[in-house]
Amino acid sequence: MSLASRVRDRVSHRHVFYGWYIAIAGAGSSFLLLGITVFGFGVFITQFREEYGWSVKAIALGFSLRSLEQGMLSPFMGYVMDRLGPRRVGVIGVVIVAASLFIFAQARTLPVYYTASIVMAIGQSLGGFSAFTLAAMRWFVKKRGRAMGVISIGNGLGYSVALIIAALISAFGYHATLMILGVAVFVLGVPLALVIHDRPESLGYLPDGEKLPSSNTSQPRASSEAKSKAPQSGTGFDVSQVLRIPAFYLLVLTSVSLSAGQSAWNTFQIPALEAAGFSLKVAASMVSIYGLVQIPLRFGAGWLGDFLGRRRLGMAALILQSLGLAVFAFLTPDRLWLLPVYYLTYAVGHAGWFIAGQTITADYFGARQFATIRGLAQSLQVPMGILAPIFVGSMFDRYGNYQLAFISLGILASTAAIWFSLIRRPMWIDLPKAAPVAEPAEPSKQSGPTTPGRSDT
């Protein structure tokens, strides 16, 4: 009996769709990898600045290099992931992230620090969240929001990693802490990545848990019709088609406008709270509490998006998140009354866009080349990803606080809702003949007004 058959039999006896096991493993991977490389890594900014006397701008350049490298590599990494599958690529990415942490532990000069940043960017592009997101897009269609809601539990818990890192630094110093984190990523991250199976069809399923009809059924025609009515994991536009669709560029503009604030917030959240008057311990605790709040918000947003529409969810989230960045700029120990306002705006908006932003590419263009298309979109965000950390670092070096920087980024983020509102394109699954085919049909000699390849906005 093959490995796929054994896995399918075990899961069938438990009456649990294997896609949910992948989503749960994705939650664990997100907690580990994003918690360390994104949500908690800002703790090290103060450590590098105090020990080596580096400016915040110089340290922020490392984060900009990560954004540059991820953006430049995203189309290629996405292509590799689409071709080789998220399982193998995910394992490779985890190993590279672990290696980058070991290099950071030895970074006593800026060139070594920047080298570690580039290596980490390569690992992030391949492993962890990217791999599990592609798997979720293939294993789910109607339940994508709920699947991403499960994965996002790990993202929410990942904020608490900042508190863990702060405690480890206090106990062992930051060099030893980086070594400990590297070992943890390797030992825990690789088994989690191995939970992934590239496509549901390999275990006898269609997306969302629909059974794949047996090829030796006594009613082949009925079986074929049943299969054609269900969405399949390999359907969607290819890159050449997407590049002719205006909606793709509107989605890129939406992401660019918002990503500057998100990138700066992820990087400088703890330093900004420290500069506002909070201690490192209190700032790390606030980040951890924020993450715990994100767990029910994101899980709820996943369900809400599946039932009410992920487009509506995305629009509301964009508006709230832009307002929240401005509120964050004024949050100080003397203005704690702003904390609930901050949670009602940025936290709620952040949760909603996390779900909508991850699924919207597959919703509009299908999952056939999801990783490549998403990687291409990320590459077009590179200039903003490079400039945002440098801009924020420069503002701090000049004014001694982050307030004006986050106000400016909040204004920029407010334009994201405008770009998103201009998209009028129907979802992929609603296009004629979108669901039945796993590969796009040959172009028809007679063009019609309702073909899936049309370039509506």
Nearest to 318 by CA among 255, 265, 249, 248: 255
Angle at 67 between CA 30 and CA 148, to 5 degrees: 30
Residue 237 in domain: yes
Average pLDDT over residues 305-311: 82
Q: Provide CB contacts within 8 A for 113, sequence distance 6+.
A: 48, 59, 62, 104, 107
The residue with greater pLDDT, 24 or 261, is 24
Residue 336 backbone phi and psi in degrees, to 5: -65, -15
| Interatomic CA distance for residues 147 and 139, integer angstroms | 9
* Overall pTM surpassing 0.85 (yes/no): no
Q: Please list, residue by residue across 9-20, b when 16 or more beta carbons sit within 10 angstroms of its beta carbon and e when fewer do.
A: eebeeeeebbbb
Give the model confidence (pLDDT) of 42-81 as tens digits: 788 888 888 888 888 888 888 777 777 766 777 787 888 8
pLDDT digits 0-9 by tens, 158-196: 878 888 888 898 888 888 999 999 999 999 999 999 999
* Residue 437 counted as domain residue: no
Average pLDDT over residues 290-302: 84
Lowest mean pLDDT among 72-81, 196-205, 329-338: 72-81
Q: What are 366's strand-pairing partners?
A: 236
Return the pLDDT at 222: 46
Q: H or E stretch including 336?
A: none
* pLDDT over 90 (residue 220): no
pLDDT band with cut points at 50, 70 and 90 for residue 27:
very high
* Dihedral, CA of residue 352, residue 354, residue 357 and residue 359, to nearest 10: -100
- Per-residue pLDDT tens digits for 408-442: 999 999 999 999 999 877 666 666 544 444 444 33
Q: What is the pLDDT of residue 287?
A: 77
What average pLDDT does this structure show over 92-120? 91
Domain annotation covers residue 257: yes
Do the domain assignments include residue 174? yes
Residue 279 is assigned to a structural domain of this protein: yes
Between 401 and 446, residue with greater pLDDT: 401
- Domain of 394, in residue numbers: 3-204+231-426
Q: Residue 94 has what pLDDT? A: 94
Question: What's 161's domain CATH number?
Answer: 1.20.1250.20
Q: What is the pLDDT of residues 245-288, one digit of tens each?
A: 888 899 889 988 888 888 788 778 888 888 888 887 788 788 77
Does residue 24 belong to any structural domain of this protein? yes
Could you give the number of structural domains in the chain?
1
Residue 349 lies in a domain: yes
Predicted pLDDT of residue 124: 85
Let me know if residue 217 belongs to a domain. no
